[in-house]
Amino acid sequence: MTFVNEKQIGNDTFAPIDILDYIYAVLHSPNYREKYKEFLKIDFPKVPYPQPTQLFFGLWLI
């Protein structure tokens, strides 16, 4: 994965907006909310690092 400053077409690049899209998708996922329901009541949400990278690219496309 390669970070770029601006949106580009490519399979292995991502831009700042893609990171925001990924975070939005994770935090609004019903699975994430259910799994961390009790923790979210007392603390800020934590965004998991995407493993494998296909997860990152798959979620920000939603």
pLDDT tens, position by position, 14-46: 778 888 888 888 899 999 999 999 998 999 888
Cα angle 41, 31, 47 (rounded to 5 degrees) comes to 65
Q: How many CB atoms lie within 10 A of CB 25?
A: 17
pLDDT at res. 48: 82
pLDDT at res. 30: 93
- Domain range list for the chain: 2-60
With 0.85 as the threshold, say if the pTM is over it.
no
